[in-house]
Amino acid sequence: MSPRAQFLSPALIAVAALLVLFETLYFASLRPGYSHVSNTISELGETGAPRARQVAFGFFLPVGLLVWLALWLVHRETSDKHLSLILVALSCLGTGYALSAIFPCDPGGPFYGTWRTLIHNGLGLIDYGGTGFGFLLVARYFSARKATFPVVAFLVAGILVLLGLLLLASESALPIRGAVQRVAEVVQFTGVFYLCYLLPKK
């Protein structure tokens, strides 16, 4: 991989992660009563929210596009079919963000509601499920190369993201689903950043 592409791919993921951090804090500060513990990030752009359009196209869409671009830069440098499958799975992170700009959730982020909410929740399943599965594939990929630390790191990451998905889909976790989501997001972006950093060296 060219030095420019090798630097650019993880840098794009870092920018996307920083956008998530600062835009979540910014838009949440404009919502009285919003809780980072109990409210999801999606609720910042829910249908009818005062700044739903800004959240959708100034937050969700750019983050999704940055993730897609970063993984595409890695993909175009490899002919390994196993890596291609991994990158497709991890691109689900970008898919969840980008398409959530078009399909916002209903107020309160319910499990069931309008067709937009059903699609939005389906995108959440793709996002966390795809990324979690992708991390497990990464662990398997590095296992074949006897790279112990990446194997353990991505195995743990995959389990944490999939566990987060199960909790987000559970009504019993509603009071803490915002916190659960944020932990899952940290794991997702850290894992994808680390992979973008590692792969060009393999």
Please tell me the distance from the alpha carbon of residue 147 to that of residue 59, in angstroms, as a whole number. 36
Of the candidates 133, 139, 141, the residue with the CA atom closest to the CA atom of residue 151: 139
Please, which pLDDT band fits residue 5 given cuts at 50, 70 and 90? low
CA 21 to chain centre: 12
pTM of the model: 0.93
Both tokens assigned to 91 = 């691109």
Domain segments of the chain as ranges:
3-201
Q: Which amino acid is at 148?
A: T
Local structure of residue 30 (DSSP, 8 states): T
Please, which pLDDT band fits residue 199 given cuts at 50, 70 and 90? confident
Please, which pLDDT band fits residue 194 given cuts at 50, 70 and 90? very high
Digit-coded pLDDT (tens) for 52-70: 999 999 999 999 999 999 9
Q: Which amino acid is at 200?
A: P
Q: What is the mean pLDDT of residues 9-34?
A: 96
| Kind plus residue range of the DSSP H or E element containing 116 | helix 115-143
Give residue 3's pLDDT.
58
Least confident stretch, 24-38, 41-55, 72-86, 95-109: 72-86
